Every structure is written in structure tokens, then in C-alpha cells.
Amino acid sequence: MKYLIAVLLITSFYFVSISQETSPFPMGKSSLLWKIEGNGIKKGSYLFGTMHLIEKENFIFPDKLEKLFKKSDVLVMELPGLPNQMEAMKYITLSKGSFFDYFTPKQTDTIIRWAQDELKMSEEKFRSTMTKMKPFVVVQMATQLHFMGKTESYEMTFDRMAREEQKKILGLETVAEQMAIFDNLTDEQQTEMVMSGIRNMKESIDLTKTMQELYVRQNVDSLYLMIHEEGGVLSEEQQNFLDERNLNWIPKINDIIADKKAFIAVGAGHLGGPNGVIRLLQKEGYTLTPVEL
């Protein structure tokens, strides 16, 4: 799932931060891995951009990355570890009503025909499976089924390694905060997300593959631009989906790296762009240097 909160900056901090120099946009030199130094921190930390859904042939995990991870004191991810199944179900199921309440009879017929053709689910099974699910789940499920057995997971890999190394795992937000991105959409936006996903499933799969190609080229500004220019509901909600979450993370990152050598792994879409984590940390006064992988 695409994981998906505003922060109020005090006036004095704002005027300090805007005076700092940031990398030009788009960057001439880019990477998925950045070293964080300066601004009075005692230990250098690392920032790494992941991709939540990535095929095995595009999974970048060289020995160099593993060694830097092992030298860190703590692992920092979007979430403080992987939620268990019971916890996850709490956030993807409706507290009242039904999945089908969001759609007209005609739209429901379209969804069921699509589920029969693409998901190989009978109408009875689809209705029983989806009736209490939030609308976004059907699109996520279809994408995951398409790539089933073909993917790796950075989050699961880092989580496993941290536990093996007995490293503490810290999170920049909670599952509830991530899910609020979808919960705060209007009913109409949620309906359109599903219907657009169904109408354009092939384009969505192609888009995912194109994003993986950009990821392999390690161009974080291009990834940001692709999300920004993609269109659709999440592009319309970009300020919440990316920018405000990035702003929320900065004070937490400041506190963590002040006295710890942290390995920070978040979605690569959060790294690039004018309000991406790289430039926000540079505004704080840190020096961020791309590390070749």
C-alpha cells in the first residue's frame, strides 16, 4: 500500500530555515542514498529512498548499503515496524456502512464484472470479501495481485535486519496518520479513485513500471515530478500526501539524529521536490551528500 498532517513552524525557525541554501531543482546529481552531516550533529546519519512496491530485478540492495545500515544506531522508517494483521485490518475496514454504498448500481455492476475478469472472483466472493472494506483497498489489492510473487520489500528487509541486529526501530508517523490520507478524502473522491483505477488498470501497472525505471536510475526529483504530474485524486491531494507529511517528519528527524547515527528509510517520492526531505533538511542547515550505490 501506498503509504501514505500539518506542522506549525514558529516564525523565528521559519526565517532561519529559508536562509539556508538548498540543491537546485531539479538536481544535476542524484542518488537514493544521502549522507547527513553538519548542523552540530555528533554522528553522521543516512537517508535512503525506498519503493514500497518494487519488482525483484529492480531491488537495489548492494553490500555497501547493508554495511552502512549495520553501522547505524537506529533504524527510522515511516512506521515503527510492520503492523500486525489484526492492527492493519482495523484501518482498512469500514466502521459503518458498506463498500458498495459508495457506488451507483451501474458502477457496482462495472466493478463486479471487472473483479470477475481481472481478479477471477465470483460476484458472491467479491461481495463477501469487500463489503466491509474501505474503497481504496480494491485498487491496492488489484495491483498487488498483478505483481504477486514478483516483488521484494525494503520495509520487510530493513525490519528483519534491525531485529537481527537488535537495533531500535523508530517511526516518523503512525498507521492512523498514514490511513488518514485516505479517510480524509470525500466520498466522491474515493469513488473516483476506484472507478479510475478500474478504467485505467493497465495504465496504472505501466505507471508503476515506469516509476521503477526512474527508481533504478536513482532520480528522486523525477520521481517527485511523476507523482506531481500523474493527475488523479492523490495528485490533487499532494499537499497532504507528500508535502505536509515531509514537514511533519523534520522535527522528529532533528531530534533523532542529534545524538544518534540513524539509518532513515522512507519512500523515495518523499526525498525529491522543492518540499522534499532532502531540501527541507538542507534548509535546517544540514549538509546532504549523495552517496553512489
Q: Which residues pair with 241 in a beta bridge?
A: none
Tens digits of residue pLDDT in 88-143: 888 999 999 999 999 999 999 999 999 999 889 999 999 999 999 999 998 888 88
pLDDT score of 109: 97
Q: Does residue 11 surpass a pLDDT of 50?
A: no
Q: What is the DSSP string of 89-158?
A: HHHHB-SSS-GGGGS-HHHHHHHHHHIIIII---HHHHHHHHTTB-THHHHHHHHHHHHTTSEE-HHHHH
Are 158 and 75 within 8 A, CB to CB? yes
User: How many other C-beta atoms are found inside a 10 Å radius of the C-beta of residue 13?
Assistant: 12
| Residue 203 pLDDT grade (very low, low, confident, very high; cuts 50, 70, 90) | confident
Which residue has 520489500 as its cell numbers? 153
Report which of 135, 215, 149, 209 is spatially closest to residue 179, judged by C-alpha positions: 135
Q: Does residue 291 surpass a pLDDT of 90?
A: yes
Q: Which of 1-15, 160-174, 195-209 has the highest mean pLDDT?
A: 160-174
- Mean pLDDT for 212-237 is 79
Q: Does residue 2 surpass a pLDDT of 80?
A: no
- Give, as one character, the DSSP assignment of residue 208: H
- Mean pLDDT for 229-242 is 62
pLDDT score of 241: 75
Tens digits of residue pLDDT in 36-73: 999 999 899 999 999 988 999 999 999 999 999 999 99
Put simply, whether the predicted model's pTM sits higher than 0.85 gets the answer yes
| Residue 231 pLDDT grade (very low, low, confident, very high; cuts 50, 70, 90) | low
- Give, as one character, the DSSP assignment of residue 272: S
Provide the strand spans (E) within the chain.
Answer: 33-37, 45-50, 54-55, 74-77, 151-152, 168-171, 262-267, 287-291
Q: Does residue 224 surpass a pLDDT of 80?
A: yes
- Mean pLDDT for 257-277 is 95
| Residue 6 pLDDT grade (very low, low, confident, very high; cuts 50, 70, 90) | very low
Strand pairing class (45-50; 33-37): antiparallel
CA 43 to chain centre: 26
Are 144 and 53 within 8 A, CB to CB? yes
The mean predicted confidence, pLDDT, of the chain is 87
- Give, as one character, the DSSP assignment of residue 79: S
Which residue has 527541507 as its cell numbers? 280
Report which of 13, 62, 108, 71 is spatially closest to residue 262, judged by C-alpha positions: 71
- Mean pLDDT for 241-249 is 90
What is the greatest pairwise CA distance in the chain?
61
Report which of 270, 272, 276 is spatially closest to residue 2, judged by C-alpha positions: 270
Examine residue 26 and say whether the peptide bond preceding it is cis (omega within 30 degrees of 0).
Answer: yes
The total number of residues written for the chain in this structure? 293
